Structure 1
């Protein structure tokens, strides 16, 4: 499934309330957007098209400090503060909301709450501490039932018909949950981190319903301080905005696509050798971007020097030829691609993985072997593979257990070179490539076919269009294979957020739009001279050239 052209879609504005420092609940009512800023205690009314903002709880702002969640009925505003539930009476004058009473206490729960929504005479409240969605009577606050909350972070909530919608601050995910059973129907990756509120907007012209998600974060910036020397300082400031979440759930293929972007990516090598060296008939191959259910190549072209495009088992490779390569010469060469990239989240469950057929012999010979210094025959890795598996027999649960085992034992750190998994496991610190090596070794020893994928991530600059963006590092992740289901993505280390967990699952069977995939099952770059591979001892690519990688976000897309 690859999305089609977006020329016929209507795009809705990003809303940026200037006075907000934290968005802890949002709600559309009578054509206006309302939001709670818990840090300042403001209840804000925001014009959705202009972002013009005003404070409407002028006399009661202190009562809203620490408030989270927001639900607006025809006569009341509901919110939670710590473990208590409050409401305040309102009235409408020519469509304008007016608060007519101070907030009133309704009832308390045992633990702090995060979000609140009301459907008829029923109150729904989320609680991170218990990991539940509590369902209570609006008449007396008595508990009716409770559902399991699918994420691990702070969750805000809204009700839409027969569905409960949750956004999770850590999971970078929106969940659609059945209101009657509490079962998760599907989940959606949000395009940006730290979602903090959500609500539906109904377009008065088209009748279309659009899900808006609020984001609350901090961003670094350079401040010019004339009283300091040097005068530039690195500081952080609040960043809040509200953006439409476009998505499409593909029930047949059990996946959800969400907000995509049209991006330009350039990869160039600048010849700048560290030592004098010459090659005859040098063939320099660079992998080109691949196509997948979440990535489509719109165009691709050579930059600097022409290349010959080769086909490598369905993947595309650029071949640059140098009949006489001399280190005294200077070249810039590479490619520039225009790509459609999307966020994807697969909805595969352990139940879907019961009774799967075994791997075919060709998959076993290709994806269960030690083909990249994975230390799979060392005692420490063999023992770790057994410990990581535990008693699991279901392949999906087994892969999830292996991931958590690696996260429990490693912390992220950058090193100038990649060590083998046995050394990494002893050291307890690894880069993305070292996380990946250990994951590959443990998965393959447990009979799960897997491979290295990836290469770069577009810098996550929020809605910075038509500005060149330079990534700080390259990046790799993995795919694991389940027979009858196919290849599923899994990040190497970004979900290892806290020692001991629980760990988010946003990138377990999911990738965000800023992950850019290169050709798979092959090295990203190779050198061959006079028909023979160039050994690293003779010359590595890093000794011969400086790479230049650039991304430009051109426009947003809808699936």
Structure 2
């Protein structure tokens, strides 16, 4: 179990500005705190930057030797020695040496990425080899090798008996046992592409704060007076360093990371397209759910009042209309103040070797074809058998089905959702079609699962108090492990490479920007006298225009 000193602390107790943006830095790969200073490696310019973590004052300390650091990635400082990785080699030099005369420590057969020092041992990560090698610091002899936990470029740091690993593709940080490499838990980072990792000891609070560096490409509009039209869409590199707040709950097998207080609103604008008259209509819209990673502080009505009911354990807002015709115009919906966190469950196949029996009511609800899943078609039944083969472990079955679907589907958006048999035959699917195929294959293999969603806040965690509008709605799923509970799994975002390997960042994990609602119940539906109106009778899309908006208010600690 992680010690209390490593648990997250309130952002209000942090530096004046938590996000550190070293001036003139282009791409930060590798960071290290030493003697209350932050050292950052800008591998594009070759700058070794010394940054005051409170004032953010920045200076280049290798002014005459910057060329040697171009392309370098990993960074570590111990006993006044600076260590870094460059291509296939690991070097070290004296931090006080103004000329930064570097000495070769070891050259390996595979490119190396990260380096960490602990007393007489040196840890070196390599994405190409898929390992973290451990060397004797005195004679550069290899002692052992540990398996790297992710598939991306990994940077590393040491904290006591723990080895901490950041992974660019996994959007994750892993906490490993330093001696054995066994994973204790993992965390989702609030931003994509983490490139460096280090702990800072805050002398004011006596806390250990985990900092992570990031490199991203952000789109922006450039005003080019020499072009016609003069506005151009371009991309630029964004790099910064931000605290990773977290808390691990070992008894419940999950860890929470950076969260945000978000105001979300969902509003329907009545504007019927066709002549219609509906009397005694109930318009039901699901409200945000209470989960391990999402807390609802407040909900209030917009436009018209609603009554609240509980349906299958979920909160649902009910708007009532005595008469609704094509001439009715109004807006109605809800606004919610919610706390959302990143969550990552940490389970291994060994944890699922023997599981209790599934509750009988789950079989009736979550193992049947109750959503046009085409589970009786030959192509789906054949796929369900091929996906698991002879596997018997429940978690490995789930993982195998996910990878099988990723192998056979590519992401694409269409105006409507086809059934799983059509989507699988076509080989292209939206998030809803990914979910449909996954649900069908899971259920045919006796794995209880359900559709969840409904929206993702634009992942702009550093943009505060400005309205943000998602481009699309979104759905993912949850699968049930008896004795443990419902676990999340993204539908398609991890399907980033044709044929894999696929990241597992959102396998049993969700990023902070997911807004959870409608678990096991429809998100939105119309009812008259207790009878649900289907799409053939009346389409919600033909009745109203929905407006969805998020506003990020502040960052929170778990």
1:77 offset after TM fit, Å? 1.2
Which runs of structure 2 are paired with 1:233-244 in the superposition (5 Å)? 233-244=232-243
Instruction: Give the structure 2 partner of residue 113 of structure 1.
Output: 112
Number of residues of Structure 1 aligned to a counterpart in Structure 2: 550
3-state SS of paired residue (2:240): strand
Normalised by the length of structure 2, the TM-score is 0.96
3-state SS of paired residue (1:362): helix
Provide the alpha-carbon RMSD of the alignment.
Answer: 1.5
Instruction: Give the structure 2 partner of residue 228 of structure 1.
Output: 227
Which runs of structure 2 are paired with 1:297-336 in the superposition (5 Å)? 297-336=296-335
1:181 offset after TM fit, Å? 1.2
Instruction: Give the structure 2 partner of residue 44 of structure 1.
Output: 49
3-state SS of paired residue (2:381): helix
Normalised by the length of structure 1, the TM-score is 0.96
Evaluate the alpha carbon distance shift between residue 111 and residue 5 of structure 1 in structure 2; reply closer, same or farther with a 3 A threshold: closer
1:99 offset after TM fit, Å? 3.1
Which runs of structure 2 are paired with 1:124-523 in the superposition (5 Å)? 124-523=123-522
In structure 1, list runs of 5 or more residues that go unmatched. Answer: 92-97
Residue 10 of structure 1: which of 9, 13, 16 is its match? Answer: 13
Counterpart contact for 1:88–1:99, Cα < 8 Å:
no
3-state SS of paired residue (2:433): helix
3-state SS of paired residue (1:298): strand
CA separation in 2, counterparts of 1:490 and 1:534?
30
Residue 88 of structure 1: which of 89, 93, 110 is its match? Answer: 93
Counterpart contact for 1:15–1:50, Cα < 8 Å:
no
Summarize deviations over 1:262-321 as a string: whole Å, max 9, x none.
100000000111122111111111011110111111000000000111111321111111
CA separation in 2, counterparts of 1:111 and 1:226?
47
CA separation in 1, counterparts of 2:11 and 2:422?
54
Summarize deviations over 1:201-252 as a string: whole Å, max 9, x none.
0111221110000011110011111221211110001111111111111111
CA separation in 2, counterparts of 1:196 and 1:5?
21
Summarize deviations over 1:496-552 as a string: whole Å, max 9, x none.
110111111111111111111013111111112354332312321111110000000
Counterpart contact for 1:420–1:437, Cα < 8 Å:
yes
1:8 offset after TM fit, Å? 9.2
Counterpart contact for 1:90–1:100, Cα < 8 Å:
no
Summarize deviations over 1:462-507 as a string: whole Å, max 9, x none.
3111111000110000000011111011000001110111111111
1:412 offset after TM fit, Å? 0.5
1:6 offset after TM fit, Å? 8.2
Instruction: Give the structure 2 partner of residue 95 of structure 1.
Output: none
Evaluate the alpha carbon distance shift between residue 241 and residue 7 of structure 1 in structure 2; reply closer, same or farther with a 3 A threshold: closer
Counterpart contact for 1:302–1:335, Cα < 8 Å:
yes
Counterpart contact for 2:461–2:552, Cα < 8 Å:
no
3-state SS of paired residue (1:180): coil
3-state SS of paired residue (1:185): strand
Residue 79 of structure 2: which of 60, 63, 74 is its match? Answer: 74
Summarize deviations over 1:342-378 as a string: whole Å, max 9, x none.
1111111111111212222211111000011101000
3-state SS of paired residue (1:25): strand
1:89 offset after TM fit, Å? 2.1
Counterpart contact for 2:19–2:241, Cα < 8 Å:
yes
Summarize deviations over 1:167-200 as a string: whole Å, max 9, x none.
0001111111111111111111111111000101
